[in-house]
Amino acid sequence: MLALSLGQSAPYVRSRVEAGDPSTQCLYWTVPKITWYQSSAGNPQTRPQASEFDAVRRSFQGWRTIFDQCGNLSLEEGGVVDDRKVGYVVNGDNRNLVLFRTRRCGDTNIVPANDPCWEEESCANEYDCWDNDLGTIAVTLTTYDEKSGIIYDSDIELNSVAFYFTTSDGPLCNPPALTTNCVSTDVQNTMTHEIGHFVGLDHTNAVGSTMNPRAQTGEISKRSIDPGSRDFVCSEAYPKGMASQACVHPTSDANLGRKAQVGCASVGAEAWLPALAGWALLLARRRRGGRS
């Protein structure tokens, strides 16, 4: 779901509870440490083989460097796990997971057409397959509280069904003659963009932005985080030595202020409180990256 107007060219755009609606709350983390994990399956098609793991690490390191310099969050790697399911389970064992999907849910030999998972939007987890548009390179699935905008969990899925992921610097790959020393859809380029969604950024049409939604085959420029996205961390949402910053600061609803402080216990985040206090107002929203 592309969540901004086509004319938006601000240096950065914060994700909102209602995409593109500035009257609604921004999405943001309020915990001091976020732990992320990679699926042990990796992506067998990546070239060079197994290089995707370090490429993902470099992507997180780019953001971690900024947070270490001027932000208030710590981005920590939790290691490699066998998990293949995304999303958030209340009181469950949740992880912020990065994984590649290598099968398409829409293929008839993968998911039966009459399977209830289509209505429940759960086919991806049940059959370990890609259930989004084939033209989308990756999807970041973020679970948050719809009142406060506080993020509880965020997972990143990469579309290895339709895109050939590489980690080399170039030259441009020439399908079908693919080699280990060319660049097609760069893992680090893709992941650096998706981690922007992970921490609460939406798309912007600003030229040169890490969060520009368009990515040409062979692009590697988004490996480097642009000044606007850096300002989002340092000056807007996560200033060092301060609490994470909301966009909407209600003055008439005291209960909302208390609810905004309630966290959920999660392997992927250190939260202050262990439960939702009986008001599980959670929504899962996909923030998509890739060609538009």
166-194: pLDDT as tens digits = 999 989 998 777 788 899 999 999 999 99
Instruction: Tell me whether strands 33-39 and 74-81 are parallel, antiparallel or unpaired.
Output: parallel
What is the total residue count of the chain?
292
The architecture that CATH gives domain 13-289 is: 3-Layer(aba) Sandwich (3.40)
Give pLDDT tens digits for 254-272.
Answer: 332 222 222 222 233 433 3
More confident residue, 253 or 142: 142
Which residues are 104's β-sheet partners?
A: 130
Q: How far apart are CA 165 and CA 57, in angstroms?
A: 15
Residue 269 forms beta bridges with which residues? 34, 266
Q: End-to-end CA distance of the chain: give it in Å, rounded.
A: 10
What pLDDT band is residue 283 in, cutting at 50, 70 and 90? low
Please state, rounded to an integer, the average pLDDT across all residues of the chain. 84
Pairing of strands 96-101, 33-39: parallel
Judge contact between 244 and 237, C-beta under 8 A. yes
The Cα–Cα gap between 98 and 43 comes to 11
Q: How far is CA 240 from CA 84, 119, 196, 267, in A?
A: 34, 43, 18, 24
DSSP state of 154: E
| pLDDT tens track for 184-223 | 999 999 999 999 999 999 999 999 999 999 999 999 999 9
- Which has the higher per-residue pLDDT, 264 or 224? 224
Q: Is 240's pLDDT higher than 80?
A: yes
Domain boundaries, the chain: 13-289
- Percent of the chain topping pLDDT 70: 83
Q: Give the whole-angstrom CA distance, residue 273 versus residue 278.
A: 12
Higher pLDDT among residues 174 and 84, named by residue: 84
58: buried, middle or exposed (CB in 10 Å: 19+, 13-18, 0-12)? middle
pTM of the model: 0.86
Enter the tokens of residue 180: 């280990």
CA distance 13 to 66: 18
